[in-house]
Structure 1
Amino acid sequence: MNLSTHTAGLGLWGLLMFVALGFEVVFASLAFVYTRRLLALRTLPLGDDLNGYQKALRKLRRCEPMSRDEWNLAERIIDIRRSPIAYSVPAAFMTMGIFYIFGSLEYLHGHTPSERTFLGVIPMFTSTNLIIQMLKTARLKKRLAKATVVDANQPSPAPLTPFG
C-alpha cells in the first residue's frame, strides 16, 4: 500500500519551477558580481553623509544649483543605476518569487492553491518597485547635462528682492 501523495514525475509546474531556479542562479550570481563591484568603488565626498545621495538627486530633479561634489555624486548614482547588470538585483527577487509560486503549485498537484502559495508575490512587488525607482533615476541623465554647477570659490549671486 502506497500512501505517498507525490506523483512519479514532474508536472508543468515542476518544470517551470526548475527553469525559474536556473534563472535565479544566473541572476543571483550577476547580482553578487555587481555588489562586489559597488563595494570596490572609492567613496566620494558627500557620499557618506546622511541622505547625501537623496539630497544630490533632489537638487538635480528640481534643477537647483549644485556644488561640484554633489554633481559628481549624482553622476555616479545615475551611472550605477543605469548599468544593465544593476537590473540583475530586482530580477533575482522576481525569479525568487516565481520559483516559490511554481514550487507551491507543484507541491499541491492540482489542488486548490491557498494563500501561502501567493506569498511569492511579495518579492515580485518588491522587484517591480526597485525597477521603477532605478528607471526614475536613470531618466535624470538628461538633466545632468543641463545642471548648474556652482563653484565653491565663487560668491553666490545676490538674492533678488521684490522691490529691486
Structure 2
Amino acid sequence: MDLGVWGDLAALAAVAEIVFATCVFVYITRLERRTSHPLGDQVGAHKAVLAKVRKREPLTRDEADYAAELVADARSPLAYAIPAALFTLGFFYVVGCLFVLHLDGGHPSFRTFIGGIPMLTSMNMAGQLRRVAHLKGKLRDIEVLDAEPVEQRILARV
C-alpha cells in the first residue's frame, strides 16, 4: 500500500510520537519518585537560583544543591523527550492534514499549519533546557556559603 510522501511522513511521525511519549512517561515517573528539594516548594525559587548562577553570585548550600538538581534535570536526555513529543505532535497534525488534502485534491489552508504552533513552542522549550544545562560550568565555579539549611528556617518560623 503506497501512502505517498505525506502518508509516510504521518506514519513516521505517529511512531516517533509513541516513542517520545513513552520517554516522557519514564522521565516524569522518575521525577515523581524522588524526594523533592525543600526549595522546590517555594514559588519562584528556581528562577531566583538560576539567576544567581547566571550572575555567578554566591549561593547557600541549599541553593547550590537545588541548582545542581535543576541542571542535572535539564542535562538528562529524557528531558528533551518533552519538546520532541510536542514537536512530533505538531508535525503529525501538519503532515496528516496535507495527506488528507492530497487524497481529496484540496489546497492547504491556514488550519493545515496550526500544527506549527506546538512545533515552535517545542523549539523554545528545548532552548530553555539547553540554557539551563549549560550552567553546569558556571555552577562549578560559584562560591558556596555555609548558611542555615532551609528546613531549619522553615521549622523556626512554625
Same-fold status (TM-score > 0.5):
yes
1:98 offset after TM fit, Å? 0.7
Q: Which has the higher helix share?
A: 2
Q: Which amino acid aligns with 1:100?
A: Y
User: Are residues 1:144 and 2:158 paired?
Assistant: no
Distance in 2 separating the partners of 1:9 and 1:43:
50
Aligned to 1:126: 121
User: Are residues 1:42 and 2:35 paired?
Assistant: yes
Distance in 2 separating the partners of 1:20 and 1:106:
13
Q: Post-superposition, which runs of at least 4 consecutive aligned residues in structure 1 deviate over 4 A?
A: none
Aligned to 2:110: 115
1:112 offset after TM fit, Å? 1.7
Deviations 1:20-68 (A, max 9, x none): 1000000011001101111112111211111111111111111111100
Q: Which amino acid aligns with 1:127?
A: S
Cα RMSD after superposing both structures:
1.3
Q: Which amino acid aligns with 1:52?
A: A
Distance in 2 separating the partners of 1:133 and 1:75:
16
Gaps of 5+ in 2: 149-158
Distance in 1 separating the partners of 2:8 and 2:133:
36
Aligned to 1:104: 97
- Which residue of 3, 7, 10 corresponds with 1:14? 7
Deviations 1:117-144 (A, max 9, x none): 0000011011000010001001100011
1:86 offset after TM fit, Å? 0.9
1:9 offset after TM fit, Å? 5.4
User: Are residues 1:24 and 2:33 paired?
Assistant: no
User: Are residues 1:59 and 2:52 paired?
Assistant: yes
- Which residue of 70, 77, 80 corresponds with 2:70? 77
Gaps of 5+ in 1: 1-7, 154-164
Q: TM-score, normalised by structure 1?
A: 0.85
Q: Percent identity?
A: 45
Classify the secondary structure of the residue corresponding to 1:47. helix
Between structure 1 and structure 2, the one with the greater Rg is 1
Q: Which amino acid aligns with 2:84?
A: A
Classify the secondary structure of the residue corresponding to 1:46. helix
